[in-house]
Amino acid sequence: MELLLVLVAITLPLFLLLLKNYNASKSNRHAPGPHGLPLIGNMHQFDSLNTHLYLHQLSKEYGPLISLKLGSVKILVVASVSAAKEVFKFHDLCFSNRPSSVAIQKLRPWSYNKLGFSFAPYDEYWRSMRKFSALHLFSAKRLRSFQPIRDEEIARMVRTIGDAAAADSGVVDLSKTFMTLTSSIIFRITFGKRYDDQEDCPEDGNNMRSQFHWLLAETQANVVSFFLTDYFPLMGRFLDRVSGAWARLEESFSQTDAFYQQLIDEHLHASTVSTTGDCSILDILLEMKKDSPVYTFDHVKAILMNIIVAATDTTAAAITWAMTLLIKNPASMKKVQQEVRDLARQKGFVDEDDIQKLVYLKAVVKEAMRLHPPAPILHRETTEKCVVSGYDIEAKTCVYVNTYAIGRDPECWDNPDEFLPERFIESSIDFRGHDFELIPFGAGRRICPGISMGAATTELVLANLLYSFDWELPAGKNREDIDMATKPGLTVHKKNHLCLVPKISDQVSRMLI
């Protein structure tokens, strides 16, 4: 009896301890993922150059939800349609924050201390800015008011390509052409003037165009730059200062801020705000600042930065990927060209009213965004602890929603790696955030506010390129030579520029006379 009591006294505490650990493990169920190392976590395994591709491969091994750790940062990867639906439909409020970083928070080159709507935390200020942008910046009425600018800049691009084709000068760099086009459109919409007006083009090359393109490239580079402070707060700050990364970022911000201030000063001295409804975005923002003492020039600059970088890069990338996929799939190219030309006939230009009737063209755009979303990783941060698919997700977890993997989810897409625009002909799936199979612009509270502007520009550019020209590969090239390699960045561009040979179609001949 005494021996039994001794055994009970020894084993009972052990049993209770095992039970406690078992219950603790059940109540702390983390999504699976690769094992990391002490201190650095999975940093030695992480591919920061092709993040969306790396995370897609991980999802094939570990499933639709993956846990990673980069230094002190906990990361959750969302990589399937079902997981995205659960996040955006049932836990959207919990996933409504944006992760911060040195580039975004400390030195403010993009967000001006998170005053813009892209990286502001989910709070009353963000909600007010979101409402303001919906009513005054990206409304249907505002989108229509910018239509003449889109039409004029696209017509200018078509004439430039047409001149090259007529002169038989050969290859056109479409990647560069699309970036120039979207930059011109966004600059005019934002500031109310062209960035290559004569007075802004001194012979020394230090003109508004070059400054603007420098700003775009510099901002993208800064936002994706690696700062040790983000992952190792205690020692990273010192090492970032010693390496010079901090000083480079400060210098970049100083030049970027001066660029915006110059444009604001010129605008204030040149004219008063228009009251006709045809005003630029800068007009609207300056009026906002004038109406409320709460807003400063930093608020104005933050929103300008959000619009310029997001709208220019993503639209150019979307058009490039669509043309790349079409040149690699000549049957689809022929079919969409026939649709566009049958509708527009001898008009000389495809306008926005025509776009709504181009069913196959819209299917091509959707399919291109499914296979190559311009922003393949959506960044979120959890506001509180929640449970997704049975896994516990801690507060302040950085979330990567892999739209690239979601667009290739074999549970939802037949032949997911093939370019098949026909899959959308009889489908109601759209990219407006309600169908989680296709979310290149995001979903939920933080869906891209400029979705209508981006989609309209992409469709209109593509329609006019297909209407005006027949496209061929450069001499000696074949479809297999067109690679699909990508450049790193928040917006994923084609690594090697898309260069094609335009041939003037019969429809464009009258427009070039």
Q: What total of structural domains would you count in the chain?
A: 1
Residue 7 falls inside a structural domain: no
pLDDT band at 197 (very low <50, low <70, confident <90, very high): low
Residue 326 falls inside a structural domain: yes
Local structure of 27: helix, strand or coil = coil
Please state, as a whole number, how many other Cβ atoms lie within 10 Å of the Cβ of residue 407.
Answer: 24
The more confidently predicted of residues 488 and 149 is 149
pLDDT in tens, 443-455: 999 999 889 999 9
pLDDT band at 509 (very low <50, low <70, confident <90, very high): low
pLDDT at 114 over 80: no
- pLDDT (mean) for 417-445: 95
pLDDT band at 251 (very low <50, low <70, confident <90, very high): confident
Local structure of 437: helix, strand or coil = coil
Domain that holds residue 89: 31-512
Instruction: Name the average pLDDT for the chain.
Output: 85
Supply the pLDDT for residue 296: 86
Question: DSSP readout, 264-322?
Answer: HHHHHHH-PPP-SS---HHHHHHHHHHH-TT--HHHHHHHHHHHHHHHHHHHHHHHHHH
Residue 20 falls inside a structural domain: no
Residue 103 falls inside a structural domain: yes
Residue 382 falls inside a structural domain: yes
Residue 269 falls inside a structural domain: yes
Residue 11 falls inside a structural domain: no
CATH of the domain at 507: 1.10.630.10
pLDDT at 7 over 70: no
| pTM of the entire predicted model | 0.88
pLDDT in tens, 253-307: 888 888 888 889 988 887 554 444 468 999 999 998 888 888 888 888 888 888 8
pLDDT band at 200 (very low <50, low <70, confident <90, very high): very low
pLDDT at 204 over 60: no
Structure tokens at 20: 């406690």
SS (H, E, C) 151-207: HHHHHHHHHHHHHHHHCCCCCEEHHHHHHHHHHHHHHHHHHCCCCCCHHHCCCCCCC
Residue 22 falls inside a structural domain: no
pLDDT in tens, 321-344: 999 999 999 999 999 999 999 998
**Residues making up the chain, counted from first to last:** 513
